[in-house]
Amino acid sequence: MGESKYVPGLEGVVACQTRLSMVDGARGRLVIGGYDVDQLAERASFEEACTLLWRGALPAKEEVPGIRKELAALRALRPETLDIIRTARNAPPIDALRMACATLSLDVSNPNDLSGAGDLAMAKRLAARFPTVVAAHSRLRQGLDPIPPRPELSMAENFLYMVFGEKPHPAAAKALDTYWVTVIDHGMNASTFTSRVIASTRSDMVSAVTGGVGALKGPLHGGAPGPVLDMLVDIQSADRAEDWLKKELAAGRRIMGFGHRVYKVRDPRAEVLARAAREMAGADLHNKKLYDLACAVEQIALRVLEEHKPGRNLKTNVEFYTALVLQSIGLSPDQFVAMFACGRVGGWCAHVMEQHGQDRLIRPQSEYTGPIHETTRA
């Protein structure tokens, strides 16, 4: 066996084999369950995309109503979970979700059932309840009572109804559905890797997904869409963009919404969400002035970044248009990471199921850099 080599950040290290998604950073391609992300977002709802990852195939058209009905029946939260959310009503939404997530197995007779059937049942609970948790927290921190879910509404429609108290505009529900499908899975990212490591110990799905939520919270992973809005508000108008961007770069600060650890071209998810933002603007549900500003800033930023950081390939990433889509449906920036989790939970659960099936402990080596003290015996 050859000597192991230390690779900072595990860059380029293949940690597992998966059928769930493929990220091609050089060509800007994301394949989820066999479909390019733009194709999947166009043809599948979030419920269908979850089914694709969990079962390995999109459901037949006649199956979809039954799948939606089954997931809708699992949305309601236990009193213990609502108590946790009430206690955490002043905490950031992603922290409230992390706390609540750990309680979502309380109504399961055997939460440690790692069989395919047991994992699938738990995956359905988690995907159905994550939006309910975030919606309940949104209401409680405003001093309002949570609104019970409505089973006849889709996942996206129901979330918006539970937050705002009225059935949403179809364009808003569609935009949210598109967002959740777009972020449902993305290769071996930090939170997915965290979930798989936990699952590899034969720990249960709720424990693994709770760990994934904790990893997603970090600003280097899921915590950066909000500052995109701050940037656009600060720029104010397209004629101010170039000077503003150059000053940020001169100060050594990052331009939010640009650059990605993997993609060397435009993030394919950015293209999908740019269309969603455009459709929201066309439906008069989005601040068209802000949308137009964002489009202008994107083009100016790409040019300025290439001039100041040639060869770095700092292209538009998913965060840029995520901010516009989520803001346009009425959510605040501090809710964005929790919304990311509501979409990514479908992928986390699928990876946990896959890891349990492989049943192999993930145990990398470390390279010791500390001292070794010589001792003498009397």
Torsion of CA 211, 216, 219, 223, to 10 degrees: -140
Known catalytic residue: 42?
A: no
Query: CB under 8 Å to 40, separation ≥6 — which residues?
Result: 32, 33, 49, 52, 181
Instruction: Count CB atoms within 10 A of the CB of residue 259.
Output: 19
Q: Which of 47, 157, 298, 319 is catalytic?
A: 319
Angle at which helix 205-216 crosses helix 336-358, to 10 degrees, equals 140
Known catalytic residue: 319?
A: yes
- Closest-CA residue to 364 (of 91, 121, 7): 7
Q: Which of 48, 137, 186, 260 is catalytic?
A: 260
Structure-token pair, residue 8? 């900072």
Instruction: Count CB atoms within 10 A of the CB of residue 302.
Output: 16
- Closest-CA residue to 26 (of 268, 318, 289): 268
Integer-rounded Cα Rg, in Å, for the chain is: 22
Beta bridge partners of 316: 258
Q: Active-site positions?
A: 260, 319
